[in-house]
Structure 1
Amino acid sequence: MANSAETVVAASVADAVDLDPKEDDEHDSKEAVLLRYFLQEWELVKSLLDRIVAGGGVSSPTDVRKIRSIYQEQGQLLEPYLERIITPLMSIVRSKAMQLRDSSDEALEVIKPLCIIIYSLVTVCGYKSVVRFFPHQVSDLELAVDLLEMCHRTTSATSLRQESTGEMETKCVVLLWLYILVLIPFDIVSVDTSAVNIDNMCGSEPSPLVMRILEISKDYLSSAGPMRRMAGLLLARLLTRPDMTIAFSRFVYMLYHLY
């Protein structure tokens, strides 16, 4: 009986060994075809990106989304090209965010379709792969909070349409941008230009900049969409900073009275 059982096991192992190389070959063949196709499509994507950069914005990301959909399950093919896609797009987002005080509506309408493209890459390749190429100058922290606040106050009348207006994607991208920016290696209060009375606060309250992040993120935690996850990522990173003890206590207090 023992010999019989061993024979069955040995046969099963042999079958598995025979099958694995075949499956691997099929997988490699499929990936090779996709890679060749992607290299052809990349020229089209690159030309689209060149037009976006030259024009300082994009009217519709439909073509890029269509190409992206082909690789929904093959994000690894896109990863070598992420920097070449994300860096110029986020550079435009950053420059337009600087114009918010002068022409907020116009700047936001340019930013939204760019963020649709960037967020589509997040869904394919994962946020960790994408945020590596976000700008991370210290001065961008207040800029990103201003942009998030502007998006938070703006609700499109066409938000119920099937086609995205870009509001959700923009909020998610900016939350991820802040997720990178709150890694600054010194106290956040030191870069908060609105903390004019910080000496009088005696450390009893979080800085105004931090409170703005907490208030907006708190609202997104109660949403059912991806903004909830992005807000959670941001808060987890922000509130575990050594200089956020008071902010953490304040946030717990806010949640206690909210729920």
Structure 2
Amino acid sequence: MEANQETVVTMNQEEDELDSKESVLQKYFLQEWNILKSLLDDIVSNARVSDTSSVHRIRSILDKYQEQGQLLEPYLETIVSPLMNIIRSRIIELGTASDEILEIIKPICIIVYSLVTVCGYKSVIKFFPHQVSDLELAVSLLEKCHSTNSVTSLRQESTGEMEAKCVTLLWLYILVLVPFDISTVDTSIANDDSLTEFELSPLVLRIIGFCKDYLSTAGPMRTMAGLVLSRLLTRPDMPKAFTRHYIMMFVEVHTVLVLMYVMLLLMYVGRLDVRIIIQI
């Protein structure tokens, strides 16, 4: 009986300590929030990060709450929405052909990805822009990020390339749920009526191509790519086209193998005929 009472007392003490710790952290975060908000306001007002040291300062504040992400959740919309709107508006303004777009978005993505690591992606992506027209923007941005690979992963992390890819993949994770046939928002085939329900649109093929590449890499991009594919390939308009796409791939591979076999057989027969002729 006494042992049970001691256990209860110990558990209550531990709960009190946890409550006390969370209370202290909450008060501490409220003090830091003013600093954080000031740094974020500066980024939003300039529509870019003008001082890279502010990114490191923001990240150092956020990283303190790795195990208390719930403290940040009430502030996520205030942080995430303006930052993602900068990314969206600057893509529209500059286009993805410009190298300047990566210089602008990479520091911002470092901040957004820091929130993902602290609060979890499900909490963060709720505040990503999700207009139908954003799908092509996100794919074009991913294509731009995908074509600029650094030599080492360390450099990717320090410059924000990895974070930019992860944030863009998470953006696509939201956007591939658009309640329309993706082919109808693919401007590359806007005036092309030849695409059937059994064919994948170029936009879908681009997404699948990028994700396949990331699935073969180590790190968070593999996870994000898996999330995108899981949503993309389970869309109602995907099964028929996707099935036909891979059947055709199988047929093509099978045809190549058969042709190779026939060629080898002919070569063998040819060699045999030569030997017979020589013997004769």
TM-score after normalising by structure 2? 0.82
Deviates more, 1:22-31 or 1:65-74: 65-74
Any unmatched runs of 5+ in structure 1?
1-9
Verify: 1:107 aligned to 2:98, yes or no: no
Q: Which has the larger radius of gyration?
A: 2
Distance in 2, Cα, partners of 1:202 & 1:255: 17
Alpha-carbon contact 2:66-2:118 (below 8 Å) kept? yes
Q: CA deviation at 1:31?
A: 0.5
96, 111, 118: which one pairs with 2:90? Answer: 96
Verify: 1:49 aligned to 2:40, yes or no: yes
Alpha-carbon contact 2:95-2:101 (below 8 Å) kept? no
Distance in 1, Cα, partners of 2:74 & 2:165: 26
Q: CA deviation at 1:245?
A: 1.1
Q: CA deviation at 1:22?
A: 0.7
Distance in 2, Cα, partners of 1:216 & 1:224: 14
Partner residue in 2 for 1:153: 147
Partner residue in 2 for 1:87: 81
Verify: 1:74 aligned to 2:50, yes or no: no
Deviates more, 1:102-111 or 1:213-222: 102-111
Q: CA deviation at 1:158?
A: 7.2
27, 50, 53: which one pairs with 2:18? Answer: 27
94, 117, 130: which one pairs with 2:111? Answer: 117
Distance in 1, Cα, partners of 2:18 & 2:246: 49
TM-score after normalising by structure 1? 0.89
> AA paired with 1:35?
Q
Deviations along 1:7-44, one digit per CA (max 9) or x if unpaired, are: xxx44433322222111100000011101110000000
Verify: 1:214 aligned to 2:205, yes or no: no
- After superposition, the CA RMSD in angstroms is 2.2
SS across alignment from 1:203: coil
> AA paired with 1:182?
V
Partner residue in 2 for 1:243: 237
Superposed, which structure 2 residues align to 1:125-204 within 5 Å? 125-156=119-150, 160-161=154-155, 164-196=158-190, 198-204=192-198
Q: CA deviation at 1:255?
A: 9.6
Any unmatched runs of 5+ in structure 2?
254-280
Partner residue in 2 for 1:228: 222
> AA paired with 1:40?
Q
1:125–1:252: structure 2 CA closer, same or farther, 3 Å change rule? farther
SS across alignment from 1:205: coil
Alpha-carbon contact 2:47-2:86 (below 8 Å) kept? yes
Q: CA deviation at 1:251?
A: 6.9
Identity %: 64
Distance in 2, Cα, partners of 1:77 & 1:176: 22
Q: CA deviation at 1:199?
A: 2.3
